[in-house]
A and B are shown apart, each in its own frame.
Chain A
Amino acid sequence: MADTAPASELVTLEVDGRSVEVAPGSLVWDACERAGVFVPVYCAHKKLEPVAVCRMCLVEVQGMPKLQPACATRVSPGMVVRTATEQVRKFRDSNLEFLLLNHPLDCPVCDRGGECDLQDFTQRYGPGQSRQSITEKVHFNKAVPLSDKIILDQERCILCWRCVRYYEEITGEREIVLQERGVHTLVDTFEHQPLRSEFQGNLPEICPVGALTHAKYRFRARPWDLRRTASICSHCSYGCSVFVDAREDQVARYASSDNPDVDDSWLCDRGRYSFPELNRKDRVLSPEAATAGGRQVVSYQDALGRAAGQLLRVGSDNGGEAIGVIGSDLMTNEEAFLLQWLARDIIGTPHLGHRLLPAPEISPLDFELGIAEIEECDQVVVLGPLPEQLAPVLTLRLFKAGTKRARKILRVEAPFTVAAIRKQVIGEGRVGVVAAESDREAALKLRTALTGAGRRCEVLTLMERVNSRGCQDLGLLPGWLPGYRRAPSPGMELPDILEAAIAGRIKALLVVNPGPDLEADPRLEAALKGAEVTVVVAAFPGVASRNATVLLPGRTIVEKAGTVTNAEGRVQRVRTAVEPKFAFPSDLKILGDLARAMGGELGAQPLAGPVYDLLARAVPAYRGAQAGLRPRWEATA
């Protein structure tokens, strides 16, 4: 609950002899948490409304004849709560006995075994042994596929309603229902329809037991096999916080990590189940070079020397302008900054890019509105379905703003004419405009049109991939230097670089971490064939790696360390969750070594931290922002 209430308004109560102050309207559960007293819960969830059905959290409140559910009882001044009395202990014990009555106790084969609340609380509060034989249990259906992503085990369910309430309160889709009554109650989909939601992956996470499990994580690992790393989902520009759970060199699953400013603890299925792509076995595993005797595996130093030598030769013969530098929005901020520095200062070319879509006009106004601030806007205009397709979790934020915060959400269809939309936006207050990047001009026009008359209008544009925003911020673009300063002499956009390479005007290409859209572009192959020298840093084999004169093994986003910037401009850290299968330096060090081999001096170690310091010197807004903050851009920039 709101901890920001003034001290005079706080309610003082006593929990297990400790005096705590909480905001009025808080739950006893919150007060217990404040007091550092753990109360076991199954049905209660921080993001869901209380229902008090599991009866696990019952505590003693002085003056009340019976035990009270901590998850649904509001605090009152002078309340005395006791959680450690004999009555509470006995109640928990017998409550767990009831929950375990028909629970199959198949923990050894249950995916939740090891991180299950029923296991944990039984161990902590439950009866040491059962009074009932395991053969007397009533059985229900096991391994019922609710969709191709979620598997339901009906006999493990303890009927906490979390999944049902999640669908009611968080997504509004109401796909899961409780069927029948009393002891016959079962969780199932309505009329056995498969789940269609885009947010099913959250169900196994809110399920306190192993009733709902991920099909993609089924029997893949036990919790004690997993190494957990806090990182950022690599799927889209929304930048949800995730835990990357890795088993050996494989990502076993993505688990959500609550970041109230961005994801609000929910992930979309596209992001959550995007990890198999990162486990691909076909990788670029060693440096290679095209030599007189054909393509050969060479040492790292050899490959580096060849790459630097070839680029320098083209540079001295034809000038720096004959070299094109291509990055991608899969690079971290540090890599993007280093690459644009390498291109501009060492190679001396203005022709650099990371995206096939040209960006002639960009500014920090594109992401003035923060993701969490959507809830604070009185009215939110969403331009077409594209924003929610780019970042599915946005849908949940809009739903929350529309229901819990009672904000007006206007989903408008193309064409986005200012006059039509203006009619629908009524009254004063704060107006948010959420648009896909391709509609940024319409969004900015709308911003100008809606501002004024007691209204403030801000825009949030959503982008394609994980670090699309960061690559713009850091000037991996022909027309823009780091920090949205215009380049004095703009170079060619990426498609023009490819065309120029095909035409022979660009003699050398440096391609780093080519993204899927670039790999799919038919011009890339022709461009790589047209250029004399192609230095490629790639994680996966493809068009770029096949046509490289010098190839260096790159890393995937879960193998990198650094920062990425999400659509709202928040700088967040990605950490190395999986060690790569080869013993070669990171992409960042490759770029640093390449610069040094070409005679450049970075003035810092090519590591994420020192390079971030350099970058923050060039882009003052980024200073001190790597702790998950949004840089403050000057509005005039």
Chain B
Amino acid sequence: MISSKKEALRIFFSSSVSKMGIVLLIILLALSIYALTAFPTEYGKLVWNNPKAWENYPKSAPPSWVNLFAKSKLFEHKVLESREPVVFKAPDGTVKMLYYFDLDYDADEFPKFFSMSVKDVRYWKSPPVITLKLIRPDGKTIELTSFIVSSPRAGESPPYIRYQEEPFILKIDSDVNVWRSISLFIKDNYGIDFSPSEISKNPERFIFGSPVKGNLSSPLKGGYRFEVAVTTYDSKDAVSLISLILGGSIYGLLGTDIIGRDIAIGVLLGFPTSLFIGIVTSVIVTLVGCLLGIIGGYFGGKTDEVIQRSSDIVYNLPLLPLTIFLIFLMGSSIWNIVLLLIVFGWPGLTIVTRSIALQLREAAFIEAAKSYGSSPWRIIFRHMLPQVTPFIVAQMIFYVPTFILLEAALSFLGLGDPTLPTWGQMLELGFRNGAIYLGLWWWIVPPGIMIVLTAFTFVLIALGMEPVVNPRLRTR
């Protein structure tokens, strides 16, 4: 046994394995705390698992840093947003609000799609008119489209509120008016005839490039300026948010999955769930297992017999098939998973602590405590438990990765808690949608690495604890 806590800590921190483990643990905890504070608790249910929330994102797009290795530059997905217009008041009472969006285009491919979204419009008199204009790097201007917000319905009184719950999304590339205006624009500027139906096949090619007959043309690089003008007829009229979405083929730090979800967010949200399941389960399992072991070892007799028999049986069960079976029957919530992991996890420690308690029971200091009339519970908690503490702590840490991996495995088999984003579930979706056979590595590598990293952290700390518990390993 270790003489003092200080000595134990010194031995623990003397190895590089433990130092690395502790550094990793601090990083994991920091990321978990960030994830918990930056995202609301209902995020998993309301946003993550809601395909509608990801409509404007590219599907199965690789991370944007693949551009560093690509020969021709891919276009990174862009969402341009503006809330603050420049306002012009005309003497006739109309108010013109101008929203500007600047885009520096340097990719070698055209955007995949182009749409405009308008959120939360309110007006008092006549419906506002919204127009979209584009000024290109070559100085040419295209009047792309204009539309009028829907008129008041019969019996409706002002203010008239539109697009409040769901934003109005105008798909620029599938809008007939846009095709017509592009056709006109090309005729006026280049003198070439393109019918709107010819343009409809790939409007982005004309919006962001020069017209060429045939298929080959490359984007016009440089600064683009989009101008959205909202003409209103009352000074109280307002629009809360206008955004332009330019569909790219690469996205963010870790790309997107088949639904368009940002994998970086999923990976981040996996930290708290994974750590929670691992740590909480392992703490409870260790406490229950140790207490039962010590109680059995100390009291002996019938109590010991019952505890020993039941731990023997539970210890001899094939864990995964039974857990799968029970989760299947009970439903997959995080609480059921934790509960089952506890139910199947406790006996290992009970068996070991029981044998330690059997030895301790005969020790002189326990005899002494008995002789001056300490109650059995006082002996267990004050005298026996502290003796096994280093061992218990080491075991507790060693159990954390076991439970993290088990939860991930259950999630991977489709039995994870559907309201929480977990790494196992991300991998399950990727696996079921054939991400491996399609080579969508950004979908299956990062969540897996996070599982390994989290489990690895605790394995390292447990390995670092070993010399503290087992003095024989301390020699060199």
The judgment on whether A and B are partners is no
Residues of A within 8 A of B (CB): none
| B interface list, Cβ under 8 A from A | none
